[in-house]
Amino acid sequence: MALTYDLIRQRLTERFGDRLTNFEEPYGMLSFEAPKELNIEVMRFLYDELGFRFLTDLTAVHYPAYAGRELAVVYHLHNLVENVRLRFKVFTPVAQPDVNTATVLFESANWQEREAYDFFGVNFVGHPNLKRIMNVDEMDYFPMRKEYPLEDQTRIDKDDEMFGRGGSFDFGNRNEDGSPRTIPANEK
């Protein structure tokens, strides 16, 4: 029997009941959400029972508007035999960003979890060597979180009007009296 998204969803629902939520297929890929305490149990089930033995990607996303679940760890798994991919997310609060490490199942999770820790601050519990790999050890923040302004707010040469983000700067499209400027045919 071919491995379809309906069959995967059915098997997951039989095993985990309503603890798995938000099943959908954006852009043609099955996606769902699991409680962070079940991440390894869900991956082990997918690995052993449904043949998802390749961790394609593991990353994090910061959703500052999701109070109490601001950080998401996103897993992309691939069943190479059936050529089926899926995605699932676990959420954790930014105040306690602890998620169990996937290195118990996938060796490739080692580097990917270190990257997610380095940029988002997700603490992968049980990871064999969780440390920064891209940024300097002295950094006391996580640069991919949406907690900081994109530009230095103290610089006066970075006025938003200069970049077309508000204010009265019109890029020369208006006359002195405020009326729209028309471009003569010989200037076009």
Tell me what pLDDT residue 96 has. 96
CA distances from 6 to 18, 24, 75, 161 (A): 16, 11, 19, 52
**Which of the residues in the chain have pLDDT under 50?**
168-171
Residue 89's φ and ψ, nearest 5 degrees, are -120, 150
> Which domains can be identified in the chain, with CATH numbers?
19-150 (3.30.460.80)
Tell me what pLDDT residue 146 has. 86
Average pLDDT, the chain: 88
Tell me what pLDDT residue 170 has. 46
Tell me what pLDDT residue 147 has. 81
In tens, the pLDDT along 146-187 reads 887 666 667 666 666 665 555 544 445 555 666 665 656 665
